[in-house]
Amino acid sequence: MKKLRLFLIVFAAISVVALGMSTVAVAKDKPIKIGFMGNLSSPSTLSAQAAAKLAVSEMNEAGGILGRPVELILEDTKGEIPKAIEVYKKLVMYNKVDVVVVAEKVEMGVAGMEIGAELFREYPHIMFSTIGSGDSIWHHVRDNYKKYRFGFQTYYYISTNYLKIMGKEVLPDFFKNTIGTNKVAIIYEDMEWTKPLRKGLKGVSDGLRAEYEKKGLEVVYEATLSLDQKVFSTVFEEVAASGAGVMDCVVGYIDQGSFIKQWAQSSASDIPWFIWGGLAGMPVAWKMTEGKISGGSVGSSFVKVPITERTIPFMTDMVEKYKTGPIFGSHTTYDTLNGYKKAVEQAGGAKDVEKVIKALEQVREVAVLGTIGWNPKYHYNLPYPEYITPIVQWQNGEMVVIIPADIATGEFKSPAELRK
């Protein structure tokens, strides 16, 4: 009887150890799940999706994250907020993802944050917004860190940093010292992301006009365009009459093809412009505008210049492996997932989300466009000069980098000179 009891005790002990080892092995092999959601009829979301696939593929080829494989789950929101909420719930509650990547406009990210906050206690996870540039997401973190601490925003610039960096530093210098004028016409589009630029942010910054005037620029014209607007000839005639030396076009979503073609045929055609983003910064813009874009400047991440050692390999792989150009939102998605990997490694795993959040707040990782990382207090992406969007000018069918100087591939030329 004693021998039987001893045998049972030893057997039980061995079973417990074996079970424990088995559990560890299963946990190690269990994938880290990344949910990707966006409007899959949108070129920017499709490009971001390819970037997510590239990042996950590279991670798995290198052995995953801390030995765990990474699984990417893709969902289409069709660009609709009710659908986005439904998809977010599915990813978190059914798929039990560790991360949700929202790869479309900021309104979708805000909707995700709200439902994510409701689910977080039972389903702890991280949310990244990789395309939206409006301030709403980081304002949620600022105003209620405890509730929204799981949310992070990764875009080239949030609207506030457009004001603080582009408005106060980069563009005044570009207009005065590169283009050679202090007379500016400002043209906005009527969208959420331009509101802080038009009206300022209480306690943070005045509007763009006031910031320019502080820098010695004279704003001689201001107008706001509807997204539905297709005829811009009146605006250009008014700009020409104002005596402006440059047009600062705070637009990204208007019909830029029509806007640029009408500028080239107007009496303002010799007045150079800077567009903040959108079609003008994409390689297809030359063909789509029939070369009328010549002389225009834009912030663009589509130029193959070695910002870091990751830049050119990323752009090459996007085209060769996924047959898509790296549109805005793709760089940030790719860099976000690599930043997340770094944070999980520093946290010792993905399970303790609170540790991952704290690690994300400290991450500084070499990225495609500079250094990826997030503000520890507000969770927005580190701005310029840590994360860089070059200013380029269209010359002879190509985007020539003008700023920053250390990666410049040419010098600014006036539209009139380029038409000769």
pLDDT in tens, the chain (420 residues): 555 454 444 444 454 444 444 444 444 579 999 999 999 988 888 999 999 999 999 999 999 999 999 999 999 999 999 999 999 999 999 999 999 999 988 888 999 999 999 999 999 999 999 988 778 888 899 999 999 999 999 987 676 777 777 888 889 999 999 999 999 999 999 987 788 889 887 777 788 999 999 999 999 999 999 999 999 999 999 999 999 999 999 998 899 999 999 999 999 999 999 998 888 988 889 999 999 999 999 988 888 899 999 999 999 999 999 988 787 789 999 999 999 999 999 999 999 999 999 999 999 999 999 999 999 999 999 888 888 889 999 999 999 999 999 899 999 999 999 988
Angle 353-360/330-347 helices, nearest 10 degrees? Answer: 120
Is 356 found in the same domain as 291? no
Maximum CA pair distance of the chain? 107
Is 286 found in the same domain as 268? yes
DSSP state of 267: T
Is the residue at 57 inside a domain?
yes
* Total-model pTM: 0.83
Give the residue from 252, 315, 321, 317 showing the smallest Cα distance to 285. Answer: 252
Paired residues of 391 in beta bridges: 299, 403
- Pairing between β-strand 297-299 and β-strand 391-395 as defined by DSSP bridges: antiparallel
Is 233 found in the same domain as 137? no
Spatial distance between the Cα atoms of 233 and 298, rounded to a whole number of angstroms: 21
Is 135 found in the same domain as 48? yes
Is the residue at 15 inside a domain?
no
In total, how many domains does the chain have? 2
The range of the structural domain enclosing residue 147 comes to: 31-156+306-372
Cβ proximity of 43 and 318 under 8 Å:
no
Is the residue at 21 inside a domain?
no
Is 63 found in the same domain as 49? yes
Is the residue at 218 inside a domain?
yes
Is 60 found in the same domain as 40? yes
Cα distances from 321 to residues 51, 71, 326, in angstroms, run: 10, 18, 12
Is 271 found in the same domain as 185? yes
Is 286 found in the same domain as 237? yes
Spatial distance between the Cα atoms of 362 and 343, rounded to a whole number of angstroms: 8
Is 258 found in the same domain as 401? yes
Is 322 found in the same domain as 251? no
Give the residue from 338, 337, 357 showing the smallest Cα distance to 347. Answer: 357
Spatial distance between the Cα atoms of 361 and 92, rounded to a whole number of angstroms: 22
Is the residue at 267 inside a domain?
yes
Residue 389 CB neighbours (<10 A): 26
Is 394 found in the same domain as 267? yes
Residue 329 CB neighbours (<10 A): 28
Is the residue at 384 inside a domain?
no
Cβ proximity of 196 and 188 under 8 Å:
no
* C-alpha distance across the termini of the chain, in Å: 105
Is the residue at 337 inside a domain?
yes
Spatial distance between the Cα atoms of 296 and 327, rounded to a whole number of angstroms: 19
Spatial distance between the Cα atoms of 322 and 202, rounded to a whole number of angstroms: 43
Is 403 found in the same domain as 286? yes
CATH code, domain with 260? 3.40.50.2300
Is the residue at 45 inside a domain?
yes
